[in-house]
Structure 1
Amino acid sequence: MALRHAVLAALLDGEMSGYQLAKTFDVAVSNYWHALPQQLYGELTKLEREGLITGREVIQQGRPNKRVFTLSEAGRGKLAEFISAGSKPSFIRDDLLVKVRAAEAGPMIDLVEQLEDRAEQARGKIALFEKLLRQLRGDLDEQTYLEQSPRVGPYLTGLRGRAFEEDTLRWCSHAAEVLRARHASEGARPES
């Protein structure tokens, strides 16, 4: 998968400016694709040049004009090709996991603090996903929304993002508890 596919998929929700796209990535897309705003703006330029999206300038009063982008038919076709192609298994690339693997080589209490920080970040992301899911389904319960909504993709990816963060929270809390206990027991041992 390339950034272009994530941008094209986000534009299925309708016309967006680069700023709106960056906000969408921060909340709804960040659980499966990370991109900096400057990367998004660069990708929008490329996609427009290739005819996969169309852009237009919006004149604003009291603010700078903005450019908004819409998915083109060629962009929809590119998304259809992407969907039809096989997917590779996902993998985790996380420096905190490397640190925990090497826990015995350094101060465990530092890892406990980092794990607690990551757990707190996960709590915040869970709250964001809950808010996003509530906004998407409106007054409908989840089952009704999933059965009747004309577009369920963003909801399903939101569910995955929430589940990922819930799992992260559980793992970080457990790992911090284990390392805290080991650190305490090592401090209680008499020196040889």
Structure 2
Amino acid sequence: MKLLVYSKDINLIDRYNSLFLDYKYKSVSEYSDLCYEAKKESIVVLMSITDCTDDIETFLNPLVELHTYIIILDEVPKYEICKKLITLGVRAYGNIMMDDIHLKEAINNVMDGNIWLYPEFINETVTKMRFESNPNLIHEQFKILTLREKEVANLVLEKMSYTEISEKLNITLRTVKAHTKNIYDKFHVQNRLSFILLFNK
């Protein structure tokens, strides 16, 4: 499968040129050329989100219909954009400044027919999607907690530090630690990380 780099910005090609040389790659800067290449053969297209038109769905649909595997890079990847892109058929989404090793992993995974997301972004995306698909999930599991414990638990799941929780709820750090100990005991976990992972499954 061939790699096609679609970019109006030469910096993207310059940034990863040594990596791209590992692949049989070609670069194009016009959408018509991109569609032409996609019609000729199965390709993986790598592009910056800034090179997509305002209506990203209209831009991507012809490519997805041609069974083109798409990798989109963004300066600051965002969950909402990720969700939309994956729904539209994009195979990978990550930071435009990621290390070569991660981009190579993304390209290889997509060439193998898989979906790839930047590792740190996976947990956030899966967690948000999980709770969006079942908004009552936390509410149901948190029934065993007191009102204040629920507040603290939600902030722990938002990955706030104990100090930040203390300041937000206007309670002492000692009180936050007491609440979290009770929360962890009720959910039979040892620590903060185990609690967060419990809700990231």
Q: TM-score, normalised by structure 2?
A: 0.25
Higher relative contact order (CA 8 A, sep 6+): 1
Query: If each structure's helix is expressed as a fraction of its own residues, which one has the higher value?
Result: 1
Query: If each structure's strand is expressed as a fraction of its own residues, which one has the higher value?
Result: 2
